[in-house]
Amino acid sequence: MTSFFRSQKRFLSSATNLVRNNWTREEIREIYKKPLLNLVYDAATVHRQFHDPSKIQQCTLLSIKTGGCTEDCGYCAQSSRYSTGVKATRLMKKDEVLEKAKIAKAKGSTRFCMGSAWRDLNGRTRTFKNICDIIKGVRELDMEVCVTLGMLNDQQAKELKEAGLTAYNHNVDTSREYYSKIITTRTYDDRLNTLGSLRHAGLKVCSGGILGLGEKEEDRIGLIHTLSTLPLHPESVPINALVPIPGTPVGDKVKKPVRFTDLLRTVATARICMPKSIIRFSAGRMQYSESEQAFTFLAGANSVFTGDKMLTTPAVTWDEDSQLFHKWGLEGLKSFEYEDGSSAQNEDKTFTLPPKQRLVEQEKQAEAVATA
Ligand code: SF4
């Protein structure tokens, strides 16, 4: 039996019991470094076991309070420490936000995400109340609602949950080792503490990273190791490709988008290590061709951001995505589709063959070829 068939047999025989949070870094490294097409095939196999591969969720991200942030994230246009031309604004009015959410819904987005640029919510009692009110308004549109507002404590997380928030975004960005090269005003453990507060409040977690920060392969492996060894995997894992912003320390250094093959490896490895999560191909998607984007969907990405903008950077428009979906045979995921037992939460969902049966058949085929 060749080493390929041995490793494939090992992979397929473990593929029916894939939701684990005890991954070692070595195991993740072994997955990440597989020959690329084998890695994509394995990720696609896992993806079909847990998700309908024809469904992609469209999300829209709106900056409800832009710029003027005191943090020093080295890639961010909104930090007040860098000259990027971004003007600081106040919190948008509820009506304006709801108008944008209605447009997003009418165009096909089923999740509405809102970002505001600050370190945390401490001392912003009135603003926090206004944000809770906005969350209630978006939920009434029957959309999933996600916000990213910086660091939170247990009480704030609880109040956001009570306001109807579906999920909270708080990215760990990169590996623990590389984090301090990108951000110095808070620590990796600060990030993890906020993730703990979210879980404590019963909120769903959206946490992922950014590729193209000048990190090494080992940092991408470390990022996936952090996320996939949390007590519960984030339900949502955004993978962003850096859009370099002139005037920021990272943007002035990094001139090219992250290599597509590195992005694809990261998506595929994340899919294998966190099989139930929605993997969101987030910022920077327009830097890649349509077929490259489709390749990431094959490797397990099952959500995109669509709209006029992603916070301060350009996004793929609804018209472009509608053509892409039509051409590649994809359709939009409905709001809360993953909460009614119809897809990710249901391991036994049948597509063309019951997934477990298909895996057994694949194993038999691999065995037959290996022993021929
Ligand atoms: S990424 Fe968020 S916390 Fe960091 S500087 Fe930008 S707005 Fe502030």
pLDDT digits (tens, 9 = 90+) for 21-67: 999 999 999 999 999 999 999 999 999 999 999 999 999 999 999 99
- Residue 173 phi/psi, 5° resolution? 75, -55
Residue 313's DSSP bridge partners are 310
Q: Quick one: pLDDT at residue 334?
A: 85
Among the options 59, 146, 220, 271, which is catalytic?
Answer: 146
Q: What is the pLDDT of residue 4?
A: 54
State which of 62, 72, 78, 243 you would mutate to test the pocket of ligand 1, scoring each by most atoms of that ligand within 8 A of its C-beta: 78
Quote the pLDDT of residue 255.
80
Longest CA–CA separation in the chain, Å: 71
Burial of 223 (0-12, 13-18, 19+ CB in 10 A): buried
Strand partners, 111: 59, 144
Asked if residue 200 is part of any domain, the answer here is yes
Is 76 touching ligand 1 by the criterion CB < 6 Å?
A: yes
Q: Would you say residue 19 lies in a domain? A: no
Residue 172 counted as domain residue: yes
* Domain span at 314: 44-371
Q: What values do phi and psi take at 366, rounded to 5? A: -60, -40
Assess whether 146 carries a catalytic annotation: yes
Let me know how many helices (H) and strands (E) the chain has, helices first. Answer: 14, 12
Tell me whether residue 273 is in a domain.
yes
117 lines ligand 1 (CB under 6 A): yes
The residues with which 146 forms a beta bridge, in sequence order, are: 113, 167
Cross-strand bridge partners of residue 145: 112
Residue 31 counted as domain residue = no
pLDDT at residue 313, rounded to an integer: 76
| 69 appears as a binding residue in the annotation | yes
Residue 85 belongs to a domain: yes
73 lines ligand 1 (CB under 6 A): yes
Annotated ligand binding at 285? The verdict is no
Q: In this predicted structure, what is the pLDDT of residue 337?
A: 79
The per-residue pLDDT for 360 is 34
| Centroid of ligand 1 to alpha carbon of 79 (angstroms) | 6
Put residue 307 in one of left, alpha, beta given phi > 0 → left and psi -120 to 50 → alpha: left
Asked if residue 48 is part of any domain, the answer here is yes
- Does residue 1 belong to any structural domain of this protein? no
Q: Provide the domain count of the chain.
A: 1
With a cut of 50, which residues of the chain have pLDDT below it? 340-372
pLDDT of residue 372: 39
282 lines ligand 1 (CB under 6 A): no
Residue 58 bridge partners (DSSP): 304
Integer Cα distance of 370 and 30 in angstroms: 22
280 is in an annotated binding site: yes
Check which CATH number belongs to the domain holding 159 and give it: 3.20.20.70
